[in-house]
Structure 1
Amino acid sequence: MKEKRFFTTNTDISIRSVTDEQGNTTDYFSGYAIVFDRRSVEINDWNGTYYEIIKREAVESYLNSKKPKDIVLTFNHNLQEPLARYKSTREQNNLTLTVDERGLLISAPIGNTQLARDVKEMIQRGDVDGMSFIFTVDKDGATYDKKETEVVRTINSMSGIYDVSVVTFPAYQDSDIAIAKRSIESLEKETEKNYEPDLALEIDLLKAKSFS
């Protein structure tokens, strides 16, 4: 069974300017879409009630794997107007994904589109300060530590990351990282072989909007 969840990190998106040797300046979207080893707010879904932690190796192993990858940077998860994109089949990409000690850092040059300019303005004004992402977990990719008063779920292995997004409203805010409790069961009968992430993701996002 495939699992998707919206995660949000608060106050992690910013505008970064880089000037080259010729004096040309390029502005970039920059921020942490995923933060490692931070406990989430309480989640309630078909797995039960628990807190969740994402390990570095879960993200790093997936990004270093030979699995085909197609990850889109969006605004509020709108796949129709991507801000940038990383595809493992392309030689050049305008979305950079870097794993460091803190988490998954994304960086993308701000394109010459109205949406990109609008998002840049909203970030600079402080109207938008959150990031979010959508992922799936490998079979047996999570472990559970059951204690008397709580359960902690640790994500050790991911099967996919599909969307990193600048978001207006992180659904649940808690310090640096929070989780939107809008998980959706979907595509239970599909296998890894015939799974189409773009189409499935659009379906899930439409479902998520209907619950908000």
Structure 2
Amino acid sequence: MELRASTIKSESGQLVGKAIAFGSQSHDLGGFVEIIEPAAFDNHLSTNPDVRALYEHDGKELLGRTTSGTLTINKRSDGIHVEIDPPSTQAGNDCKELVKRGDINGMSFGFVAIRDRWDWNAQPVPVRHVLEAELREVTVTATPAYEASSVVLRSLADHKREGTDLNELWLQYLEV
């Protein structure tokens, strides 16, 4: 499994962020950089896979899971966005506090590449384009490989300030 990173924030106890930024170049990953293509996860996500949300890629620090409804994954034009309802555990509370303080503002993801294409002539290092992959996990991290990722802590008050229609928001949560 391969691991990469993006950004997140914490809102109303819920962690919200962009785990995967399409078309964004990663940091140097050890002699190459990587770009996730927009359709890379389409096939896998269409199967409603069991994806986990973790704290710093630690399988013992589970924050949410698609099969339990505590992790929601949404593909948008700019990337894969997530909403995590973390547990009231030490890891969940620590993670929310660190995001709230701004100490952690990134996300990462773990995947298995199915198809990729390499540009060996790119300078200064080769570029790997991930064309198809299976998403295994998303993680809240202080060290994202992609600067275009983000995370925040969201609250009900934030929705009200943004003018969000709370009835519409509730219906969206019920659809998940």
TM-score if structure 1 supplies the norm length? 0.62
Distance change in 2, residues 1:56/1:112 (3 Å): same
Q: 3-state SS of the aligned residue for 1:70?
A: coil
Which has the higher relative contact order, 1 or 2, with Cα contacts under 8 A spaced 6 or more apart? 2
- Which runs of at least 4 in structure 1 moved beyond 4 Å after TM superposition? none
Please say if residues 26 and 147 of structure 2, whose CA atoms lie closer than 8 Å, have aligned partners that are also in contact. no
Counterpart of 1:161?
Answer: 135
Correspondences of 1:1-212 after superposition (within 5 Å): 4-9=1-6, 12-17=7-12, 27-44=13-30, 49-64=31-46, 66=47, 69-87=49-67, 93-138=69-114, 141-147=115-121, 149=123, 150-158=125-133, 160-170=134-144, 175-176=147-148
Q: 3-state SS of the aligned residue for 1:115?
A: helix
Residue 152 of structure 1 aligns to which amino acid in structure 2?
V
Please say if residues 17 and 82 of structure 2, whose CA atoms lie closer than 8 Å, have aligned partners that are also in contact. yes
Distance change in 2, residues 1:148/1:59 (3 Å): closer
Residue 176 of structure 1 aligns to which amino acid in structure 2?
A
Q: Which runs of 5+ in 2 are unaligned?
A: 150-176
**Which structure has the larger Rg over C-alpha atoms?**
1
Counterpart-to-counterpart distance in 2, 1:119 and 1:53? 27
Counterpart of 1:188?
Answer: none
Q: Percent identity?
A: 26
Q: CA deviation at 1:43?
A: 3.2
Aligned CA RMSD, in angstroms, stands at: 2.1
Counterpart-to-counterpart distance in 1, 2:130 and 2:10? 30
Superposed CA offset, 1:136-190 (max 9, x none): 111xx111233264432211111x22121111334x5x6426xxxxxxxxxxxxx
Please say if residues 70 and 86 of structure 2, whose CA atoms lie closer than 8 Å, have aligned partners that are also in contact. no
Counterpart-to-counterpart distance in 1, 2:97 and 2:25? 31
Q: How many residues align?
A: 148
Q: Which runs of 5+ in 1 are unaligned?
A: 18-26, 178-212
